[in-house]
Chains A and B, each alone.
Chain A
Amino acid sequence: MSGYVLRRILWMVPLLWAVSTVTFLLMHAVPGGPFDNEKAPPNVVATLEHRYGLDQPLHEQYVQFLGRLLQGDLGISFQTQEDVTDVISRGFGVTAQLGLSAFLFAIVFGMTLGILSAVNQNGVLDYVGVFFATVGAAMPNFILATFLVVIFAVKLGWFDVLGWEFGNPRKMVLPILALGMLPAAYIARITRASMLEVLQQDYIRTARAKGLQEYTVVVRHAVRNALVPILTVAGPIFAVLVTGSFIVERIFAVPGVGRKFVEAVLARDYGLIMGTTLFYALVVAVANLIVDILYAYVDPRIRY
Chain B
Amino acid sequence: MAEASSLSRAEDLSLAASRPPRGLWSDAFRRLRKNRLALAAGAVLVAFTALAVAANYVDAVQRHEPEVQNYDDVFEGPSTRHFFGTDNLGRDNWARVMQGALISIQIGLGVQVIVLIIGILVGGTAALTGRVGDNLLMRFTDLAYAFPDLLFIILLRAVLTGRDWPVLGNERIQMILAISFVAWVTVARLVRGQMLSLARQDYVLAARALGASPARVVFQHMLPNTLGPVIVAVTFGIPTAIFAEAVLGFIGFGLPPPTASLGRLVADGYIYMQTNVWIAVFPAATVALLMLSFTFLGDGLRDALDPRTR
Contacts and interface: CB of A to CB of B under 8 A. Distances in A.
Interface of A: 15, 18-19, 22-23, 26-27, 29-31, 134-135, 137-140, 142-143, 146-147, 149-150, 154, 161, 239, 242-243, 246-247, 250-251, 261-262, 265-266, 273, 277, 280-281, 284-285, 288
Interface stretch (B4-12, B214-222, B291-299): B291-299
Contacts, number: 112
A281 B146 contact: yes
Contact of A146 (B151, B158, B280, B299): B280
A60 B179 CA distance: 31
Contacts of B287: 140, 143
Interface in B150-174: 150-152, 154-156, 158-159, 161-163
Contacts of A15: 142-143, 146
A175 B152 CA distance: 24
A19 B274 contact: no
B251 A31 contact: no
B239 interface: yes
Given A142-B246, A265-B154, A251 B162 contact: no
A21 to B, nearest CB: 10
B10 to A, nearest CB: 41
B291 A251 contact: no
A60 B281 CA distance: 50
Given A26-B156, A150-B277, A143 B295 contact: no
Please indicate which of the listed interface residues A22, A30, A266 has the most CB atoms of chain B within 10 Å of its own CB. A30
B266 interface: yes
B267 to A, nearest CB: 8
B148 interface: yes
B253 interface: yes
A261 B247 CA distance: 14
A18 B287 CA distance: 34
A266 B148 contact: no
A285 B239 contact: no
B147 interface: yes
B250 A142 contact: yes
A30 B37 CA distance: 44
Interface in B253-310: 253, 263, 266, 269-270, 273-274, 277, 280-281, 284, 287-288, 291-292, 294-296, 299
A150 B280 contact: yes
A31 B239 CA distance: 30
Contacts of A242: 148
A19 B142 CA distance: 11
Nearest to B148: A243
A140 B273 contact: no
Nearest to A137: B295
B179 to A, nearest CB: 14
B78 interface: no
Please indicate which of the listed interface residues A134, A150, A284, A285 has the most CB atoms of chain B within 10 Å of its own CB. A150
B155 A284 contact: no
Interface string B128-155: 0000000000000011001111111011
B156 A19 contact: no
Contacts of B247: 140, 142, 247
A251 B295 CA distance: 25
Contacts of A250: 251
B184 interface: no
Given A138-B292, A138-B294, A150-B281, 19 more contacts: A15-B142, A15-B143, A26-B156, A134-B295, A138-B239, A139-B291, A142-B246, A143-B288, A147-B281, A154-B273, A154-B274, A161-B273, A243-B150, A251-B270, A261-B154, A273-B155, A277-B151, A277-B155, A280-B151
